[in-house]
Structure 1
Amino acid sequence: MARGKIQLRRIENPTSRQVTFSKRRTGMLKKAYELSVLCDAEVAVIIFSQKGKLYEFSSNSEIQKTIDRYRRSANDADKYRADMEQHILRLKQETADMERKIELLEASLRKLSGQCLGSDSIDEIQEIGDQLERSLSSIRARKVQLFNDQVQQLQAKEWSLKEENAKLLAMCHAYYWQSSAHPEAAAIHSSSSRSTDVETELFIGLPKLN
């Protein structure tokens, strides 16, 4: 028969309560020992009875060493938690500052585009106009610089084409003067070219008499 589920509440009968405490205490200490052996874990258990009697188990030679280790780990965890909280606060502050900067930039952009100027004074509007003039001056200067760069590139390309054209013209003149200075060579070359086109006739027997 399966064991019924026990309702977790204080046992009112003192005798039953003491018997249950003894059984559960022994079982807990036994489980702690098995856990330390099977898993090579450092385990410490501290139990105080209702009358204040101490029961303890430690897989270490001294339970105080395990307690000191626990305190160091707890302190490290508290320090890590405090550092994380400080880091989160810094991130929240940086986020808030960034949101304010974005709002200011958006408001400035709207004013530069001519919007939301109803609450601005004459001096503020004058400052916005001066800022736009400075921006336009910078844009015009950059535009002029780009145009000058393009003009220089086109001029360099023009000079390169002129040099290449002069070289080709010099080669044509050199070929012309060479042909004019040696007409015999040109004629021989021409006749040799025509001789290749002369047809020949081959026949067998005595030559015909006229």
Structure 2
Amino acid sequence: MARKKVALRYIRNDSTRLNTLKKRTKNLMKKAGEVATLCNAKACVLVYGEGAMVPEVFPSHAEAMAILSRFESMPEVPQLKKKMDQETILSRCLIQLRHQVEKIRCEREDREARILLHKAMVSGHLPGNIEELTTMARKLELILKSLRERITKITGQPPVYQAQAPYVTGGMDMGSPMYQALRQQQEGWLDMARSQGNPDTQIYNGHSTSL
């Protein structure tokens, strides 16, 4: 049975925390011994328990002191090449978390923009909220930019847009000749993009988006 992923957070129960420390310390020292044997390398482990004045040492106190003395006698550049303190580790973790948060935020905004576009297409009405309008306009501009790039790549020349009446907030006559002509023009572009079989292009309710 595969091991479950353990959440890296402080164990508040005293008994569980001490037992986990003993178990993990034993496994860590075992792994260090295996690395030293398999790779013919020098390795030592020092673990200070909670409130302990003397650490648990592997392989022995004398050998650990010899390894540490050899390490400290090395030139400063090789010594610090892969050495990290707690602050550096936490800073890297913080940067990774910020990237994850930014990625999730972008995905959420993209999903909300898609929903707004879908509602506008189905109902024929634009949202009255300025924030939703801005979000939808930004997403629509990205979709149009992607379409222009695809059409230019397929035909070898940029698309030519026909002049049309401005969209009136509050709805459009879906049966009007202007709307039908615009719809046919968009469908023609989309059919052209579909015919290329590009897996990077996804058609979403009449709009083309690049993943």
TM-score by length of 1: 0.34
Q: Rg: which structure is higher? A: 1
> Comparing both chains, which one has the higher relative contact order based on Cα–Cα distances under 8 Å and sequence gaps of 6 or more?
2
TM-score, normalisation: structure 2: 0.34
